[in-house]
Amino acid sequence: ETGVTQTPRHLVMGMTNKKSLKCEQHLGHNAMYWYKQSAKKPLELMFVYSLEERVENNSVPSRFSPECPNSSHLFLHLHTLQPEDSALYLCASSQVSGLTGGYTFGSGTRLTVV
Amino acid sequence: TQLLEQSPQFLSIQEGENLTVYCNSSSVFSSLQWYRQEPGEGPVLLVTVVTGGEVKKLKRLTFQFGDARKDSSLHITAAQPGDTGLYLCAARRSGNTPLVFGKGTRLSVIA
């Protein structure tokens, strides 16, 4: 399998649940990202991992917890979410080199918090 | 304040028409990218521009980076229904800093 794969594609969870989103890339990239996409808002950068180290945490609430066990896998652990956290969560990967590196995105996980 | 302003927000046109969408900022960028996102999918990279004044063509799509590297445009000639989607611009201020995205232009091409 090639590209960036995200699972699950859809997730409905209650505010007291704990769930995890998974992202896997088979491109040999050394950086991975979590973005949140909500209606009428630009993509919001949540977390960046470069060479398996977290290099950015954009003031994301602690109810979101990332994990990057190796350069090919990225998780987003969710607990006690709020309805306003409902959104499309996108994972991306890239090669950290130069100015022109583009991102390869997964298809996203559509999250609904009820 | 939005770092990257995209306009128009929505655009609905007939097949065969030409269109231009814009990405503007008051900041200078080291590079700028355009992505297209179709419903139910993640964004897909179309092009990267780096040099001020640069023009790149991808079949019927023409991308231009402003001379001052603060803005960009995407022109589509003879639009087709397959061009329908959300067009996102994204930019870096320097080096390997993460991309910042605009809100996008949602294009609908009607057959």
Q: Of B96, B92, B102, B2, which Cα lies nearest the Cα of B49?
A: B92
**Cα(A107)–Cα(A8) distance, integer angstroms:** 10
CB contacts of B99 in chain A (<8 Å) are 45, 103
Distance from CA of A39 to the nearest CA of B (A): 9
Residue A103 contacts by C-beta under 8 Å, 6 or more apart in sequence?
A33, A92, A93, A94, B43, B45, B90, B99
CB contacts of A92 in chain B (<8 Å) are 42
Asked if the model's pLDDT at residue A57 lies above 80, the reply is no
**Cα(B106)–Cα(B88) distance, integer angstroms:** 9
Please tell me the predicted confidence (pLDDT) of residue A2.
Answer: 65
Please tell me the predicted confidence (pLDDT) of residue B79.
Answer: 98
CB contacts of B40 in chain A (<8 Å) are 107
Name residue A48's beta-bridge partners. A33, A56
Please tell me the predicted confidence (pLDDT) of residue B55.
Answer: 97
Assign B3 a pLDDT band (cuts: 50, 70, 90): confident
Token duo for residue A53: 């180290």
Please tell me the predicted confidence (pLDDT) of residue A39.
Answer: 87
Question: Do residue A99 and residue B95 have CB atoms under 8 angstroms apart?
Answer: yes
Distance from CA of A20 to the nearest CA of B (A): 19
Asked if the model's pLDDT at residue A1 lies above 90, the reply is no
Interface of B with A (CB under 8 A): 2, 4, 30-31, 33, 40-45, 48, 50, 88, 90, 92, 95-96, 98-104
**Identity of the residue numbered A85:** D
The average pLDDT across A33-58 equals 86
Residue A110 near residue A88 (C-beta atoms within 8 A): yes
Question: Do residue A43 and residue B88 have CB atoms under 8 angstroms apart?
Answer: yes
Residue A44 near residue A38 (C-beta atoms within 8 A): yes
The model's pLDDT over A72-87, given as tens digits with 9 standing for 90+, comes to: 999 999 999 999 999 9
Residue A22 near residue A75 (C-beta atoms within 8 A): yes
Please tell me the predicted confidence (pLDDT) of residue A53.
Answer: 78
